Amino acid sequence: NSKVIQTPRYLVKGQGQKAKMRCIPEKGHPVVFWYQQNKNNEFKFLINFQNQEVLQQIDMTEKRFSAECPSNSPCSLEIQSSEAGDSALYLCASSLANSDYTFGSGTRLLVI
């Protein structure tokens, strides 16, 4: 039973459609991460936040994704125009200052 809650578990979108997923981090964790895990089990870091501010993001995220982590609301990651290559498991993780990272169960996106 993960303390990081991700919704929805599954998401099916057509190419060009928006795809939005949400994450409630573990209570008290100030840092939130999004990773993409592909079918070969490779992890790609997408973006991270600390107290609602973006710390780092990769080029792809900056260009094609919209992400936010407002106070008192779930964090969200949205692909503006889905592509077939975006089909993957999207994992949210949160952490404390002592670098313990807790992952959610993920949102599995299929772009058809």
Partner 1 sequence: GDSVTQMQGQVTLSEDDFLFINCTYSTTWYPTLFWYVQYPGEGPQLLLKVTTANNKGISRGFEATYDKRTTSFHLQKASVQESDSAVYYCVLGERNAGAKLTFGGGTRLTVRP
| Piece of the chain touching partner 1 by CB under 8 A; list 12-20, 45-53, 63-71, 78-86 | 45-53
Q: 15 or 55: whose CB is closer to partner 1?
A: 55
| Piece of the chain touching partner 1 by CB under 8 A; list 14-22, 66-74, 78-86, 101-109 | 101-109
- E runs forming strands in the chain: 5-7, 10-13, 19-24, 31-37, 43-50, 53-57, 65-68, 75-79, 88-95, 101-103, 107-111
The DSSP secondary-structure symbol of 8 reads: -
Indicate the pairing of strand 19-24 with strand 101-103. unpaired
The minimum distance between CB 50 and partner 1, in angstroms, equals 5
Q: 32: number of CA atoms within 13 Å, CB side?
A: 29
Q: 5 or 17: whose CB is closer to partner 1?
A: 5
Residue of 88, 95, 109, 111 that binds partner 1 (CB under 8 A)? 95
Contact residues for partner 1, defined by CB under 8 A: 2, 4, 6, 30-31, 33, 35, 41-43, 45, 48, 50, 55-56, 91, 93, 95-106
